[in-house]
Chain A
Amino acid sequence: GNSVTQMEGPVTLSEEAFLTINCTYTATGYPSLFWYVQYPGEGLQLLLKATKADDKGSNKGFEATYRKETTSFHLEKGSVQVSDSAVYFCALKRSGGGADGLTFGKGTHLIIQP
């Protein structure tokens, strides 16, 4: 079946540091890939997405590139801010569409210290 593996936290960085959160997946075909973010006390929000190989999703300074050859979708940001502190979830939607939901990783708790 489909699965998503991401590094578990907490990940603690200083402000302006470079961020990488690793995410790898197992799925047949060509799934769509997503990063969701959950700020404290809020629901999940879509951060960025990529729907085919070599696509790069980007938003709010975050980027992730769909790497079919390594089945990865690592999240990066060049300079993090305290406001980026949140839980980040990598997820996939299986190829072929359908109403069944997303497959999520366990989430990575990111803490940015001033």
Chain B
Amino acid sequence: SQTIHQWPATLVQPVGSPLSLECTVEGTSNPNLYWYRQAAGRGLQLLFYSVGIGQISSEVPQNLSASRPQDRQFILSSKKLLLSDSGFYLCAWSLNSKGYGYTFGSGTRLTVV
């Protein structure tokens, strides 16, 4: 069966420190991969998506970057965290473009202090 792993579940990082969140998918090949963020009082915002290895599309300019070094691995990074990077980060995957194949990970709660 297809599963998605996302870690860590919670993370507290100081301002200016680097960030690396990892997401891996099992049981499928060539998925579309997504990073979403939910900041306090805001909806889920699409940050990045990827349709293949090395292919990254950014939806909003920000202090974050994404990489896809392997087919089923999607990494969210930052060189220097800002307070405004705090939020709930969700990884998701889908196999089609119509929307109803999305599977979400359990999320990472990031608090920048």
Q: How far is the CA of A93 from the CA of B98 in the complex (A)?
A: 7
Residues in chain B near residue A98, CB distance under 8 A: 97
What DSSP secondary structure best describes chain B's contact surface? strand
Q: How near does chain B come to A41, taking the closest CB pair, in angstroms?
A: 7
Q: How near does chain B come to A6, taking the closest CB pair, in angstroms?
A: 8
Residues in chain B near residue A99, CB distance under 8 A: 32, 49, 51, 57, 94, 97
Q: Establish whether residues A44 and B90, one from each chain, have CB atoms under 8 Å apart when the complex forms.
A: yes
> Interface residue tally of chain B, by bracket?
20 to 34
Which stretch in A14-22, A63-71, A103-111 binds the other chain? A103-111
Using a CB–CB distance below 8 Å, which chain B residues touch chain A? 4, 6, 32, 34, 36, 38, 41-46, 49, 51, 57, 59, 90, 92, 94, 97-100, 102-107
